[in-house]
Amino acid sequence: MQERIPKRIIQTGKSADLPLKEKAAVCNLKLLNPDFEYLFFDDQQVESFMDQQPPEYRRIFDTFPFRIQRYDFFRYLAVHQFGGFYFDLDVFLDRLAIGGLVIRRRDENEGVGGHLRFLQESRALR
């Protein structure tokens, strides 16, 4: 039997006080996915999460010289622990389709930055 990806969206930001564009992206995700659990981690919550992980994970986290590297590592751990999907705060969805994702970026740097990350396979439907 194939396991399903949990209906959960995970995002991170420096704080919960987001700029307007990022608030719009969060609203977009929530409105298109009302049956999904939503998890947001600010910097303090990321640190707390890492403190609760095995010591070797915390040591790895602390060795990365750049913040983005530490938070990329956190994102993979969070998706692994909780399941679901990780979206950067600049991603807008057109729709969420059963069996996969259909995404389109909507920012001034089309195709640059912002990633959809998940550790389980899904199939994009067209």
**How many whole angstroms separate alpha carbon 87 and alpha carbon 80?**
14
- pLDDT score of 46 more than 60: yes
Residue 123 lies in a domain: no
Residue 126 lies in a domain: no
Instruction: Summarize pLDDT for 64-119 with one digit per residue, the tens.
Output: 999 999 999 999 999 999 999 999 999 888 765 434 554 444 444 444 344 444 33
Residue 85 lies in a domain: yes
Residue 1 lies in a domain: no
Classify residue 111 as left (phi > 0), alpha (psi -120 to 50) or beta: left
Residue 2 lies in a domain: no
Domain residue limits at 62: 8-117
**Total tally of structural domains belonging to the chain:** 1
